[in-house]
Amino acid sequence: MTRTVRDAAIVLGVISGPDAKDPVTTNAEGHVPASYTEGLSSSSLQGARLGVIRSFFGTGPEADKVTAVMNAAVAELERLGATVLDPVEILHAETILSQGDNTWGRWLYENGDALDAYLKGLGNLAPVTYEELREIDSGAPLIMPYTPTGGTNSPESLKALAESTEYTQTAVQSAMAEHNLDALVYPTLSLPPAPIGRFQTGSNCHLSAWSGYPAITVPAGYTVDGHPVGLEMIAMPWTEATLLNYAYAFEQGTKHRRSPSLAPALT
């Protein structure tokens, strides 16, 4: 999460690659370019083939506000040189959408192990232990509820992991292959941002999280109420550089980002 796409490319260049503490990252060997910034160009969308997942758009008055912004963004993608297929259907769309707000239980299983490992890794620098943290009723939906450790090895967790990965990878792969696409496009959230203290619904972020495929979100504009809308693009493994290029071209061609008014300028 950065101010600009270029900043995101710089950060990715620093953090990408194998990590001894994360075995999955060994797959990155040989796939990380020397630089993610070299290919950034305002003309990168010219010739790109993009498919719009309309089933990931919401319904109802609030969702219509986001859809209006996304429709304009799709037109901007075409203006910037992309060939846009709209709509593109994906397999298992209803199943994926129906599980969007409960994350198929994967987060609930992974949350305890991840937080416990992180705090233990801090050693004496850890402000609290995981068990102490579980006793704190923060009320924050992204932190609570804390779950027992060891959940990721449970049959329920392994089943949820296998099912959600299979559904989402198949959905992305088949749609892109059928239409010879370079990326799929959809709103990051099909509904406007929820007020502070309320649970956010309408998230489409789990398509990338569950499949493990790279995705990037870039400002698409603002609703009539002034709420930001994100345009998300997902593609096949190891296409981070391509997605950064597309996002950069869209960013430079639209200039939708507005600096936050409640924070001082960075120097």
Full pLDDT tens readout for the chain, 267 residues: 999 999 999 999 999 998 888 888 889 989 999 999 999 999 999 999 999 999 999 999 999 999 999 999 999 999 999 999 999 999 988 888 877 655 545 666 777 788 888 889 999 999 888 778 777 655 444 455 556 666 777 787 788 788 888 889 999 999 999 999 999 999 999 999 988 878 788 989 889 988 999 999 999 999 999 999 999 999 999 999 999 999 999 999 999 999 877 766 665
Model pLDDT, residue 13: 95
Total-model pTM: 0.87
What is residue 236's DSSP assignment? S
Model pLDDT, residue 81: 98
Nearest by Cα to 251 from 46, 41, 39: 41
- Structure tokens given for 190: 């099909």
Model pLDDT, residue 104: 47
Nearest by Cα to 207 from 87, 69, 64, 55: 55
Helix (H/G/I), strand (E/B), else coil: 206: helix
Residue type, 155: P
Model pLDDT, residue 151: 72
How far apart (Å, rounded) are the C-alpha atoms in residues 106 and 39? 35
- Structure tokens given for 122: 């801090």
Model pLDDT, residue 149: 63
Q: DSSP E strands: which ranges in the chain?
A: 49-52, 83-85, 183-187, 215-222, 228-234
Helix (H/G/I), strand (E/B), else coil: 140: coil
In order of 11, 70, 177, 217, 265, the CA distances from 3 in angstroms are 11, 20, 33, 12, 12
Helix (H/G/I), strand (E/B), else coil: 231: strand
How far apart (Å, rounded) are the C-alpha atoms in residues 117 and 220? 37
Model pLDDT, residue 102: 54
Model pLDDT, residue 84: 98
Residues 6+ apart with CB under 8 A from 222: 69, 228, 229, 256, 258
How far apart (Å, rounded) are the C-alpha atoms in residues 255 and 108? 38
How far apart (Å, rounded) are the C-alpha atoms in residues 250 and 247? 5
Model pLDDT, residue 231: 98
